[in-house]
């Protein structure tokens, strides 16, 4: 229960504040750019090799301090961990899908941290175990499965593993009949694997060992050393990411080149692995596109002459000639076309309208047959695993903040008749009727309406401004934070805490303009939106002004750092996970991952205008002498996305400048990376830590 009026005498465990935090030594280092000198006393905490004894000693001291401060609430953490994991279906399995001659699924068993990958000749028949990740993870503090690909003849399995958490993978190949591993091993790849149709060649993307960018595509022939692999393609523009795939009919291997605002698709015949990739539509700056192949034609989803994308069709023979493109669904300012699936006799189109997903089914003459019905006020829906083009069945996933993830199958030949295949099971007596979800629009300071999705427990919410509220945000890369069901959130709701997602600019909830309005020289809008949502929720009675929590990770950690600098008195506690906070220094360093790829997201600080703008909001540079709220910062020593030294330096500077007495905790995992702990259950250790931190600040009893 939460503390309200008259409950101040309730005994609630508090932090151990009797110990002093570690103090990082200040060593003078000056960054010089455009005539501006930036003093960085904590630059020495950067160690790319992660071997400097002084750096490691300081990080260990930070971890020890965090553990000591939170030691009195260890029972609460353990209680929460038990509570969070008790809701899981111990024997959860995915819905089997049919590919070639087998039904494939993944399944958890009892208390295992990792799933089993299985297949059967019959739907839910006797399954063959292909891969047990629990066995593969033995002896490793961290384990992550990257790509997993079965050969076209279904005799071989290629899978990629990362045991360091740097997102650098090693590929193994397994004979599915004998169970033996081949001697072939492929090191230093990004985790993606694609088979050619001859079952002898594998395509993969190699990572640069310094920048960790995947910029080279190789073809490996079974039985030969990796050193003999053929270099198929090398990306010359380091602002592009590469990804591999196959068309749905499996006739072409696809190589997608993507930067923030430009994309290109190259292909080679899947039965001609010694050929070279050729671009279908040559890249043009500012033009993005994706393709769905259907026999000898392509459906083209593109922002060419349509900022919210339009759907076109072209013959394969003249696809590069824009004059030959046929407009099927023109672009609209109020509708973002997001995805398209080309089946044998149907075309499925996914759009977003006023922040909500819509899925339409057409015949191949573009006659609208029906729209799939979704009923919640806010929800997430999309195309599930649909591995066969010659199918008249469509699988769709659906979820909301009150609806566990569900997989439906629609019979497209019979008017879209729906069948629920599976819904996520939530143990512990969960009843969706106990909870209420809402979609709001809150006015920003510049008269935009910001979407907010929230959920609360009905019997714990009166709307009188006395509830605590946990506000989450991200706001970058055009990534939309969807209102997925998450059983962990129930631990907030059942204690009277309202949960809210602020869909700030920088995401794409309201279309491409919503993204463009929150990147580059518009980035301040993301921070303003989050703050304005907070104030709006307080004004509307969803939250007590002294019980507002904020949380975000990665680019959402940047959001947390900026809103704390700009409105430190608004939040009673903040959690910043793997936060991107040293924006200017990182974006000036081309040896770091994600720098050159992201100039179109944040700006290029080698240019003075971008430098000045980024400096104006960079959380590390803008730390100032003011009282900051209690802060929990998390990171992983091996993080490949946001290097550990960004939050390490930030924490040191926050402690130096904060004029208040609130704790700044740095919970660094010395064996993890950007995604935190690996494993189904271990993940909830991190959640339990954050919730225990928040509940302690709020004086909420366990």
Q: Annotated catalytic sites, by residue?
A: 554, 639, 674
Q: Which of 511, 504, 505 is nearest to 303 (CA)?
A: 511
Contact 440/483 with Cβ under 8 angstroms?
no
Query: 483 in helix, strand or coil?
Result: coil
Structure tokens at 637: 């020593």
The burial class, CB within 10 Å (0-12 / 13-18 / 19+), for 50 is middle
Q: How many CB atoms lie within 10 A of CB 353?
A: 13
Query: 530 in helix, strand or coil?
Result: helix
Query: 167 in helix, strand or coil?
Result: coil
What is the rounded distance in angstroms from the CA atom of residue 171 to the CA atom of residue 222? 12
Place of tokens 């749905």: 248
Measured CA to CA in angstroms, residue 510 lies from 187, 260, 372, 462, 513 at distances of 41, 18, 20, 30, 7
Instruction: Return contacts of 86-89, CB within 8 angstroms, 24+ apart.
Output: 86/427, 86/428, 87/426, 87/427, 87/428, 87/430, 87/487, 87/488, 87/490, 88/427, 88/487, 88/680, 88/681, 89/424, 89/425, 89/426, 89/427
What is the rounded distance in angstroms from the CA atom of residue 69 to the CA atom of residue 677? 21
Contact 72/663 with Cβ under 8 angstroms?
no
The CA-based angle 309-312-318, given to 5 degrees, is 130
Q: Which of 330, 340, 350, 308 is nearest to 514 (CA)?
A: 308
Helices (H), 265-341: none
What is the rounded distance in angstroms from the CA atom of residue 700 to the CA atom of residue 466? 13
What is the rounded distance in angstroms from the CA atom of residue 206 to the CA atom of residue 687? 33
What is the rounded distance in angstroms from the CA atom of residue 400 to the CA atom of residue 104? 26
Measured CA to CA in angstroms, residue 76 lies from 2, 15, 490, 584, 691 at distances of 14, 12, 16, 39, 9
What is the rounded distance in angstroms from the CA atom of residue 514 to the CA atom of residue 508? 5
Interior/surface letters 11-40, b for 16+ CB within 10 angstroms, e for the rest: ebbebeeeeebbebeeeeeeeeeeeeebeb
Query: 407 in helix, strand or coil?
Result: strand
Query: E strand or H helix at 327, and its extent?
Result: strand 326-329
DSSP string spanning 351-397?
EEETTEEEEEEEETT--EEEE----SSS-EEEE-----SS-SEEEEE
């Amino acid at each position: 229960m939460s503390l309200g009026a008259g409950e101040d005498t309730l005994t609630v465990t508090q932090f151990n504040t009797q110990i002093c935090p570690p103090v990082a030594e200040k060593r003078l280092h000056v960054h010089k750019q455009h005539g501006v000198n930036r003093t960085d006393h904590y630059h020495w905490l950067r160690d790319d090799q992660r071997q400097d004894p002084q750096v490691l000693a300081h990080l260990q001291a930070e971890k020890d301090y965090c553990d000591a401060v939170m030691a009195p609430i260890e029972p609460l953490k353990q209680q929460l961990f038990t509570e969070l994991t008790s809701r899981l279906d111990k024997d959860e399995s995915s819905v089997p899908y049919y590919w070639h001659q087998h039904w494939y699924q993944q399944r958890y068993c009892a208390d295992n941290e990792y799933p089993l990958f299985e297949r059967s000749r019959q739907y839910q028949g006797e399954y063959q175990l292909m891969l047990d990740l629990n066995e593969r993870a033995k002896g490793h503090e961290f384990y992550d499965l990257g790509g997993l690909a079965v050969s076209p003849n279904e005799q071989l399995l290629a899978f990629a593993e990362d045991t360091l958490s740097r997102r650098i993978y090693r590929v193994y190949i397994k004979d599915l009949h004998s169970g033996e591993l081949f001697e072939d091993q492929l090191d230093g790849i990004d985790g993606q694997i694609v088979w050619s149709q001859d079952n002898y060649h594998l395509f993969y993307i190699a990572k640069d060992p310094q920048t960790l960018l995947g910029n080279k595509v190789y073809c490996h022939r079974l039985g030969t050393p990796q050193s003999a692999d053929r270099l198929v393609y090398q990306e010359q523009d380091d602002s592009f990411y590469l990804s591999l795939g196959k068309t749905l009919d499996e006739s072409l291997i696809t190589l997608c080149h993507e930067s923030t605002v430009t994309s290109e698709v190259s292909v080679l015949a899947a039965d001609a692995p010694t050929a070279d990739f050729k671009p279908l539509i040559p890249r043009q700056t500012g033009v993005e596109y994706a393709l769905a192949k259907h026999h000898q034609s392509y459906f083209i989803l593109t922002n060419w002459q349509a900022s919210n994308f339009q759907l076109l069709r072209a013959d394969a023979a003249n696809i590069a000639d824009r004059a030959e493109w046929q407009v099927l669904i023109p672009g609209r300012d109020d509708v973002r076309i997001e995805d398209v699936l080309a089946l044998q006799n149907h075309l499925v189109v996914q759009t977003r309208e006023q922040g909500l997903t819509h899925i339409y089914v057409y015949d191949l003459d573009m006659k609208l047959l029906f729209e799939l019905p979704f009923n919640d006020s806010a929800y997430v829906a999309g195309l599930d695993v649909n591995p066969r083009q010659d199918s008249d069945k469509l699988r769709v996933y659906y979820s909301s903040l009150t609806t566990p993830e569900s997989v439906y199958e629609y019979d497209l030949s019979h008017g879209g008749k729906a069948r629920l295949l599976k819904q996520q099971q939530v143990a512990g007596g969960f009843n969706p009727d106990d909870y209420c979800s809402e979609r709001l629009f809150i006015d920003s300071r510049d008269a935009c309406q910001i979407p907010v999705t929230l959920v609360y427990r009905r019997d714990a919410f009166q709307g009188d401004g006395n509830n605590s509220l946990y506000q989450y945000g991200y706001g970058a890369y055009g990534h939309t934070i969807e209102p997925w069901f998450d059983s962990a959130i129930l631990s907030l709701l059942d204690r009277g805490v309202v949960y809210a997602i602020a869909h700030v600019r920088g995401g794409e909830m309201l279309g491409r303009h919503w993204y463009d309005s929150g990147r580059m020289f518009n980035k301040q809008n993301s921070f303003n939106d989050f703050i304005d949502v907070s104030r709006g929720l307080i004004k509307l009675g969803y939250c007590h002004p002294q019980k507002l929590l904020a949380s975000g990770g990665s680019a959402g950690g940047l959001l947390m750092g900026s809103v704390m600098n700009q409105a430190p008195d608004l939040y009673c506690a903040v959690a910043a996970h793997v936060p991107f906070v040293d924006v200017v220094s990182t974006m000036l360093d081309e040896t770091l991952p994600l720098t050159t790829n992201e100039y179109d997201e944040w700006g290029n600080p080698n240019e003075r205008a971008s430098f000045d703008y980024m400096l104006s909001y960079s959380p590390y540079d803008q730390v100032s002498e003011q009282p900051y709220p209690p802060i929990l910062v998390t990171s992983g020593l091996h993080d490949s996305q946001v290097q550990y030294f960004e939050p390490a330096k930030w924490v040191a500077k926050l402690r130096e400048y904060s004029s208040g007495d609130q704790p700044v905790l740095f919970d660094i995992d010395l064996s993890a990376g950007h995604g935190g702990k690996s494993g189904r259950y271990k993940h909830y250790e991190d959640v339990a830590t954050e919730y225990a931190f928040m509940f302690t600040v709020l004086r909420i009893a366990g």
